[in-house]
Amino acid sequence: MARTLERLGRLCVRRRRAVFELWVLLMLGAGVLGVTQGGMFVQQSSLPGTETQRAIDTLRQDFPAMTGPTATVVFHSTADASPGDWRVALTVGKAIENLTALDRVAFAENPYIQGMGGMKSHDAVVIRVNLKGTMGDVSAADLDRFDEAVEPARMAGLDVKFGGIVAMILNQPKGGPQEGVGIMLAMLVLLLAFGSFLAAGIPILVSLCGMVVAYSVIHFAASAVEVHPTAPMVAAMLGIGAGIDYALFIVTRYRQQLADGDDVETAVGRAMAHSGHAVVFAGGTVVFAICGLFLSGISFIGRIGLASALSVGLMVLGALTLLPAILGALGTRIDRYKLPRVRPDRSSTRWMTWGRHVDRNAWPYAIVATLVLLALSVPTLSLRFGVMADSISSPKTDSRQAYDIVAKEFGAGHYSPFVIVAQGAG
């Protein structure tokens, strides 16, 4: 494999323009596909083998209108209007009629009609709406129609909040500041390691290019199958971390080969032969390990693993093709734009001295490190597992505000009541 990787590295150096063009086409193609044909990330609609799923299957057979995704609509009083006013109540009733008439709606509760469910008080009206199909069938256009349907209540002065699946899709998790902070911290570490802005930026660039393709493909896959909202976030965390790590292997070896007097093509080839070998095995191990999530038997968990494996696989591809081409283009200029007063060679000597010291005193350091790790892991003893729900959403979201209103007006348990399904003996 080492010989094959060396040849690949040399080829990417000689044909670096073609490599750049192929990666640009790959990113543009995947990006266009993700933007134009991408689906929405949704919660899983089935959990095979569970009691809940058996109840849903029974309902689907006998009461299909009750098995679709459920949205919660909360009409809440303001300083200008209250549902307790009969004139305002008429507008709420009109909004409920509008919701019921939508093609996507299978059933909508109506507290103004006996036996139609829903809850009402002087300050709030709460209804649940069952949608047709699955969560993957709900589109942004459907959500716009929901907004239009409740406009009469808004015009009357009421505050209308959406909870449940509708709010979850409206508030799709997007890349927040966490990924950016992580990249900045990684850049800082690379600067201290290399002492050069240019050398430190290369692993970041390669990982970002791979992540563009990975996210676009995951977004496109969401149009064909149900992809959990956490899938792109997990894929980004693992992918960016792995991409920086793998590129770091090769860049470090390449700089060493240049320092030993090799020309650019030879240095890239030898770096690929040695460090590229580690990248292939490390990446392959991670990919196969993450795909093991399919063994959980829960399809959405397996798809999160598949999305993460795709991300890591693309990082390996970038490290073995795009990175050698970049190194070939930069040549010996990789150490330009050095960071003042940072001497990586001296730092390496210090770390080597520290490593030898730890090696000579292995047992004491092993015991201390184990005790520290055990102390840090104590909070896991009180770890509580849960699911994504409106009650744990950000207080700024409509879904959390809808939950808080229901909890205040009717009690916390009224927001997510149990559904009991009983089958007759016949």
User: So what's the pLDDT on residue 164?
Assistant: 80
Closest by Cα among 331, 351, 347 to 193? 347
User: So what's the pLDDT on residue 192?
Assistant: 65
The string of pLDDT tens digits covering residues 241-285 is 888 889 888 988 888 888 888 888 999 999 999 888 889 999 999
Residues in the chain with pLDDT values less than 70: 43-46, 135-136, 166-183, 190-195, 337-348, 384-388, 425-426
Q: Which structural domains are found in the chain, ordered by start?
A: 2-41+175-350 (1.20.1640.10), 51-170 (3.30.70.1320)
User: So what's the pLDDT on residue 318?
Assistant: 93
The string of pLDDT tens digits covering residues 85-110 is 889 999 999 999 999 999 888 889 99
Distance, in Å, from the CA atom of 415 to the CA atom of 393, rounded to the nearest integer, reads 14
Contacts of 178 (CB under 8 A, 6+ apart): none
Distance, in Å, from the CA atom of 219 to the CA atom of 39, rounded to the nearest integer, reads 6
